[in-house]
Amino acid sequence: MEEELREKIRAEMEESLEEEISQKRRELQQQLEEIQVLWRAEATVAARAEAEEQVKKTQEASKAMRMEKLTESVEREKTMAEHEKLMAQLYARQLEEREKEMKKRNELYKEHVSKLEAKCAKFYKVSAENFQKGKEETLKRFARFNIQPLCEDLQDQILKCYKENPGRTLTCSGIASAYMQCVDNAKKDKLTTGG
């Protein structure tokens, strides 16, 4: 009986122990699940914090890059503006020098033209004087002849006839023949008289 009692106590103890172990397992399982939930929450928070940190770093890097690009752009613009300013000054100086050169050339040309005009005026004056002298000498050397037109009345008649009969020259042929005869007679007279 003692043996049975021991067996019974032992069985009860084993059962109680198994129940306690089972209870402890459940508690441990529950604690494990709670720890896992906490761990997941912490991991999520840590991941979120890390992600936020990465986003922050990325944003800062992006901002720094934008600032660097902006600074480079501003520097480039300043450099270009300075370059354009220097080029404008250079062009202004070159333009000023060209204007001075043009003024100088203009003065030289004016002086040259003035000298040429003076020479031309002098040459013209001398030429005009020489021409006048030559004309006067020629007039002194040669006597003037008084030339009378031949058959003047017939010449006037034929011109009048041509004007009154345009395109019909045969109408004026009688007057034209008389004019030609008059001219021939005048030539013969000159030849025979020697005048």
Indicate the SS3 state at residue 146.
coil
pLDDT of amino acid 136 = 82
Through-space distance between the first and last CA atoms of the chain, rounded to whole angstroms: 206
pLDDT of amino acid 143 = 57
- Please state, in angstroms and rounded to a whole number, the distance separating the CA atoms of residues 141 and 123: 26
The low-confidence residues of the chain, meaning pLDDT below 50, are: none
Contacts of residue 179, Cβ cutoff 8 Å, sequence gap at least 6? 151, 154, 155, 157, 158
pLDDT of amino acid 194 = 59
135, 163 Cβ separation under 8 angstroms: no
pLDDT digits (tens, 9 = 90+) for 6-55: 777 777 777 887 888 888 888 888 888 888 888 888 888 888 888 888 88
pLDDT of amino acid 5 = 75
179, 158 Cβ separation under 8 angstroms: yes
Ramachandran category for residue 185: left, alpha or beta (phi over 0 → left; psi -120 to 50 → alpha)? alpha
pLDDT of amino acid 90 = 92
Domain extents for the chain?
2-141, 148-187
pLDDT of amino acid 89 = 92
- Please state, in angstroms and rounded to a whole number, the distance separating the CA atoms of residues 31 and 48: 25
3-state helix, strand, coil in the chain (%, to 5): 90, 0, 10
116, 140 Cβ separation under 8 angstroms: no
